[in-house]
Amino acid sequence: MTQSSHKLKLTALIAMVVGSMIGGGIFSLPQNMAQSAGAGATLIGWAITAVGMLMLAFVFQTLANQKPELDSGVYAYAKAGFGNYMGFSSAWGYWISAFLGNVSYFVLLFGTLGYFFPIFGDGNTIPAIIGASILLWAVHFLILRGVKEAAFINQVTTVAKIVPLVMFIILAAVAFKLDVFTTDFWGKGNLKLGSVMDQVRNMMLVTVWVFIGIEGASVYSARAEKRADVGRATVIGFLSTLLLLVLVNVLSLGVMSQPELAGLKNPSMAYVLEHVVGHWGAIFISIGLVISLLGALLSWTLLCAEILFSASRDQTMPRFLHKENANGVPANALWLSNGGVQVFLIITLFAASTYTSLLLLATSMILVPYFLSTAYGVMVAYKGDGYAEHGGNRNKDLIISVVATLYSMWLIYAAGVQFLLLSALLYAPGAILYTKARKECGQIVFTTIEKFIFAAAVIGAIAASYGLYTGFLKL
């Protein structure tokens, strides 16, 4: 990668940024958003998201420039700024978010197949979970054999993502009706939606879900032909993805009313296009989504294992997760990741969890890593760490980091009590692996402050367990 001929040009970087953010979420966006907000609140929510996520992208780029030695993933920023336990928690939360994202992909995949084969229902029936489990372990053993990159699959899935989206936008724009879009613009006719502020807050986790992966842009810094292209690719890729998302969401609100969209099954984009052009539209979108999800499952399964594997290299995770098999695959990390996916697939069956509930839980788990990263960005810019060596505008970076931190705090508030407690329930057990990792390197497990943080997580986990038992909380 040191030769200029092997370096990535701006167009390649943009394609990587867009490809990492566009997954299965956009295909269910019309229903996911209409379930939470009317047209007016949706526009406000997208405006907040546009500013907040762009600031977040800038923070990751700034940290990549000023702290190039921290190349072990997003959790490295939390560890550098707030200590070992917070670094571990960030890695743990990011990993859980990634494998829960895979669970949601399986549910969405078989929910899509349910359009053709009703036995799969919404992706959470017994046949759907059996099918998902078979596919999960097929991918698992395929990867164990050394399948790490599949350029052909990536090319196919990229086309499968973009072509249906462009086709949908064109046809939905033709069918768009202003009177449908402006009917009950602020959602006051639907008491379940609440106030405009409630609507904006409730849709926030969905907007974050469709942008997960934006932090990956800085990964390509070392491979860029021009380092400045990484920042340009981040902005252009983000704005391109934002445009696609907003057009899909807003145009749908002009094709079908908010209550109609909210009542659709997922992938709701298929049913919106079916409303416009007939049965073939749903088939077209569904086939594109199935191909896209199959490719995404391969790459995200690898990502889940890579998160644990990378964290074990600097002793954030236990040593056993650093083991590779004869084919160079992090086998133990892969087994743990897919074991977690399998457990949650079974939980999905008994809890009747939908794609939407899974994506909201997955998103809530990534809020802590995002918040800690932005807070560390504030620390770096305030202290001026790295600026003497690498240059940059401290004042601008400080303002950006503060805005991104406030946005991250807003997201934690927007998640609400339910998902914060459920997140605590998933964060607390991580202390088992953390304790093992600390003892392996002969270090004390918790500092005084970390004991209080862990205690708070345990209290939250107990409250969540009680809430699930009494029915106050639902997965």
The predicted-structure confidence for 380-390, as pLDDT tens digits, reads as follows 999 998 888 88
Q: pLDDT category, 217, cuts 50, 70, 90?
A: low
Higher pLDDT, 102 or 222: 102
- Output the CA–CA distances (angstroms, integers) from residue 408 to 266, 305, 307, in the order listed: 28, 26, 22
- Output the CA–CA distances (angstroms, integers) from residue 320 to 5, 63, 73, 76, 338, in the order listed: 38, 30, 19, 20, 16
Please report where in the chains the tokens 């909201």 appear, as a residue: 360
At 39-63, the pLDDT tens digits run 999 999 999 999 999 999 889 888 8
SS3 per-residue string spanning 245-262: HHHHHHHHHCCCCHHHHH
Count: domains in the chain: 1
Report if residue 279 sits inside a domain: yes
The CATH number linked to 411 is 1.20.1740.10
Report if residue 224 sits inside a domain: yes
Q: Which residues contact 101 (CB under 8 A, 6 or more apart)?
A: 23, 212, 300, 359, 362
At 221-277, the pLDDT tens digits run 555 677 667 777 778 888 888 999 999 999 999 999 999 999 998 899 999 999 999
Is residue 371's pLDDT more than 80? yes
- Residue 164 has, within 13 A of its CA and on its CB side, a CA count of 30
- Residue 415 has, within 13 A of its CA and on its CB side, a CA count of 25
At 103-136, the pLDDT tens digits run 998 999 999 999 899 999 989 899 999 999 999 9
Q: In 3D, which of 102, 79, 107, 106 has the Cα closest to residue 92?
A: 79
- Output the CA–CA distances (angstroms, integers) from residue 452 to 77, 426, 449, in the order listed: 21, 17, 5
Report if residue 139 sits inside a domain: yes
Report if residue 475 sits inside a domain: no
Angle at 213 between CA 387 and CA 435, to 5 degrees: 80
Backbone angles phi, psi at 8, to 5 degrees: -90, 130
Is-cis flag, bond preceding 259, omega within 30?
no
> Minimum mean pLDDT among 3-12, 77-86, 119-128, 197-206: which range?
3-12
Report if residue 419 sits inside a domain: yes
Report if residue 442 sits inside a domain: yes
Alpha helices in 257-393 (DSSP H): 258-262, 268-277, 279-313, 331-351, 355-383, 387-390
Average of pLDDT values for 202-207? 88
Q: pLDDT category, 163, cuts 50, 70, 90?
A: confident
Residue 224: strand, helix, or coil: strand
At 410-435, the pLDDT tens digits run 999 988 888 889 999 999 999 999 99
pTM reported for the whole predicted model: 0.88
Is residue 308's pLDDT more than 50? yes
Domain that holds residue 418: 4-470
